[in-house]
Chains A and B, each alone.
Chain A
């Protein structure tokens, strides 16, 4: 306890909420309120309606939602395979090799996402691999961008893994592949699902690289939100944004539940 007087504590809390509420809580509230409104000229929005949500259940917006879900699913599975494999391989390395692998796999975080999009556009607009204008290039970009997070989560989980289990399995004659499959992967499962949830959430909200790459028939939700607000349909954009946030939350919480379930096994 830093502040002992009652008055001082209340002052600290007041300052905290004066900063916290407008900065963090209000943005979510206004987007939520706007998604139910048709007009906002006073302090609060007016003419409540559900039409923005009804519009989402059909047409382009529904397509955008399924597009985003498929893209995020594909990208997070691919990222988990590549990132998880790399993390498992990195664990066996020491010194300079280890640092090199860490640097390589964390590099996509440092490079601006727009540049990742541009680079894929430059590299795969010509044979041998012509991907420009396909949905695969969007999935590829998302995979490149989220692999770093998969790598980092699995690496962090590997450090926390108790080596006693695999050592005893190996001492009983289990081959490395068997140890990996029966000991390490089950122990890593909670971290793997958490990493998948993180990758999924990041891919759902990815806008920068997608703006560079998306073909007309593969339009993810963030691009649709940008299109709506750019046209001036702010309230439709708000409803789409709420759908994006709720979907992301459901996936994150679902992954969280799996995590606790696995840890009690």
Chain B
């Protein structure tokens, strides 16, 4: 923190020393002995943008470049044709997409129900619970898979309960889905549901309780109120939360790595195994480019939805004031 505060004034001194050809945008403050020489606003943004460019954008560009540079030398589309012909790549792409879509649907459903109860059927301790969910967001995702291993693993609570009841041998329980895509799906729904609940709770706090009372006094029952009053209000937040979760699920690596299943390969997992385990950098770069294009496109969609939501709620607040 101290460094932020120190660097910025230093920059200002240096910037003030440069010839100021641009006219000052704002009128000089009264009492100032001379008009302050200003640099254009965009010049301030240059140092952090340069840092980001060198350490983030330029490496990404090199990944794109490397995907056209096979190990044999020269430039060709050979890595691309190789990877696209691989069965494992197509399977990983399919796995990534369906697990992400399935998890998003699960998160939206679960998050909507949970947020609905916290917001509209309040109970003591409900606020503490929503804070607990915030803490949940600070923990790494792989902890969930670790926990699921103790819950549903071959030695774990659920199978242990089964052997306790039936008296079977230890480790003979019937529950064994963690190393399948369903295990990844369950872990992702668990971990990402709070990302849906947070915007939903914010949206629900904007719903006028009077509206609910009116609907209720006119004879509407709870399911109908949810469908016709609450759901329309929540749709923008659902869309925003859903598209964010979709991107995060596409990019998820820790959960899949900890599952340790050979059969569940997603695109991030394929990048890791190609680069680190096989040492095939051009191939890894091809998969990386596909993953980045997929995620960034969807993320652009998410930002568009959020921008729309922001203007909508902003308008509603003004109308209510």
Residues of A within 8 A of B (CB): 1-4, 8-9, 12-13, 15-16, 19-20, 23-24, 26-28, 30-31, 33-34, 40-44, 77, 80-86, 88-90, 92-93, 97, 101, 103-116, 118-124, 140, 143-144, 147, 170-173, 175-177, 180-181, 185, 189, 192-193, 196, 198, 201-202, 204-208, 211-212, 222, 225-226, 229-230, 234, 237-238, 241, 244-245, 248-249, 252
Contacts and interface: CB of A to CB of B under 8 A. Distances in A.
A195 B109 CA distance: 30
Contact of B142 (A171, A177, A222): A222
A149 B47 CA distance: 18
A97 B160 contact: no
A26 B143 CA distance: 12
A19 B129 CA distance: 13
Contact of A192 (B4, B60, B157): B4
A106 B307 CA distance: 14
Contact of B12 (A8, A9, A177, A222): A177
A196 B5 CA distance: 14
Interface residues of B, number: 106
A40 B222 contact: no
B215 to A, nearest CB: 10
B35 interface: no
B216 interface: yes
A118 B114 contact: no
Contacts of B260: 230
A181 B5 CA distance: 6
Contact of A81 (B3, B113, B153, B292): B3
A201 B141 CA distance: 12
A119 B123 CA distance: 48
B286 to A, nearest CB: 11
A13 B121 contact: yes
A1 B222 CA distance: 10
Majority SS at the chain A contact face: helix
B117 A238 contact: no
B7 to A, nearest CB: 6
B193 interface: yes
B42 A85 contact: no
B110 to A, nearest CB: 6
Contact of B292 (A88, A111, A198): A111
A85 B251 CA distance: 28
Nearest to B267: A112
B222 A90 contact: no
A115 B147 contact: no
8 contacts: A19-B110, A23-B193, A86-B48, A112-B267, A115-B60, A115-B268, A212-B275, A234-B150
B271 interface: yes
Interface stretch (B25-33, B71-79, B87-95, B232-240): B25-33
Nearest to A37: B150
A118 B268 CA distance: 10
B321 to A, nearest CB: 17
Interface string B194-238: 000000000000000100100010000010011000100000000
A123 B62 contact: yes
Contacts of B57: 104, 107
B68 interface: no
Given A176-B36, A207-B142, A225-B142, A112 B4 contact: no
